[in-house]
A and B are shown apart, each in its own frame.
Chain A
Amino acid sequence: MSSMIEFRNVQKYYGEFHALKDINLEIDKGETVVLIGPSGSGKSTLSRTVNGLETIQEGQLIVNGRDIADKTTDINRIRRDVGMVFQHFNLYANKDVLENIMLAPRIVLKMNEEENKKQAMALLDQVGLADKAHNMPSQISGGQKQRVAIARSLAMKPRCMLFDEPTSALDPEMIDDVLGVIKYVTSQSDMTSLIVTHEMGFAQEVANRVIFMADGQVLEDDSKDKFFDHPTNERARQFLSKIIKH
């Protein structure tokens, strides 16, 4: 299998602060990778570099065959193929649910209007919100917003999905529905997913592979079973023991 995302000696700084330290990673097409670690460890930053929302200062970052750090790369072209789901949903506040899903396919992909609408309704149906098509984002719950946000990303037919703490801002009773949708998305055989999460049970369920980060470094990168049963890194062991206690 060939790789979808490849970090080669990536360094990221915020001023003096070294946010990502010499990251080397290769994520293959179709893989579901869960990224965990304490807050401030750089996991969100790492996921946001993949679609260029954060720039890197050194190294190479190859996404779907194109180097993001290369100035000649058209970042908008890469972003079409990389969907992103945000912690705070970020639904377009001035558009209703259906328009949220249809806007980017219309103005970025120039998709035929009829086909676009058919696809949007099908996606809404998939996430169980067909009856909310004409609601404004302010009129639906957090869990529903996040499901719309996932449908919005899928409307671009991405090859890769980034989930940046998709359930962290949700009430507990909303989380399961959202996780159910994410699980469905990651189960598509050709979809590559990178998920930043604190939901360990969910991580165990969907991940092929788990990456543990702390202080801007990747400290452990293992298959799911190996990571949860025998983490080799001391920090990862401590982190897991703390999480499981709660």
Chain B
Amino acid sequence: MKINHYLIGFAVSSLFRRGTKSLFVLFIFTALIFLLSSILFISNSIKEELNLTLDSLPQIIVQKLQAGRQTNIELKRVNKLLEFQGVQSAVPRIWGYYYFEKAGVNFSLVGIDAYDKQYKNSFANIVKNVNFDALEKTSSMVVGQGVKKALSENYYKNYFNFIKPDGDFIKVPIASTFSSKTSLESNDIILMPRSLVLEIFGMDKTKATDIVLSVANPEEIPTIAKKIKNLYPDTRVITKSDLKVSYQNIFDYKSGMFLALFVISAFTFFMIIYDKASGLSSEEKKEIGILKALGWKIDDILQEKFYEAFIISFVAFISAIILSLFFVYTLEAPILKEIFIGYSRLKPSFDLPFILDVQTIFLLFFLTIPLYLAAIIIPSWRVASMDADEVMR
């Protein structure tokens, strides 16, 4: 079938001749697609970020529970855990949250030891890059970029005064800052020698926060986890897949909420378009009458209306996607991102990695364009099947 460019030309001129109405429809349709595509882009990016984070998580974490709450675990259990077959390494971790009241944010204090096997690749890199001996000697710290920003906003340029549980101050100089490929996790992190973390939190030197294990064969993880639980009934054993599922659940819940919101706004949109397409001025009615008198079939008028809809959809679709790409990846999605992540006050900001796949574009297409077309079918048919003898009266 040949494309009728006269009809397309007529559709274009018809849109221009009803400029305000077309602009209004174009505007709300663009807004709808923009909102939806921004949500999808952000959620795709956060998913990607989460996956990167999850990949670097330890395979098994062993925590000690007392009265149902997590408590510090004895260091001597490390050697026992290493005796399990299949366990490659067992590393005690010393870490905790430090609440910085002035900025109202939580820092994650992580104790490191250059000679221990590092449990996270990103930390291993930092340890390599930083002169660890100097850090140990001068009792100083390495901070994430988000931490650095929060501190300097409060005039701590080169050091920070931690308050110990007994009320004493301890002054720790900042040796350097770092960034890692997953900004979501590294932003609030402070790395410092273990002894320093123990001191700041007032922890017992024979204990650690938890113990992380790595296992040679991932298939064995559930078995090993079960065995640990049998040996130490007072522990909680968390595997990577447990974490993955719970992260995913929280995330799906959030995007589900947004989609529910989208369904409502889509319905509103449907009604607005339906209303706009139904409300015809007498001028438009007359125009249709003229066209029918001149020999336009109902199908011709429907086709013309379809072309109009297609042009509007196409323009709205393209411009909304460009706008939201700009909004999400250049402007870093202000407001929307905060709502989506939900803990913006406590976690300093982070960058969204750029992800754009064909499937998301298809998804956007199926969520929006058919809706618009559906909204105009009945009004267009009503217009097109009007009696043409109006023009003779």
| A and B together in one complex | no
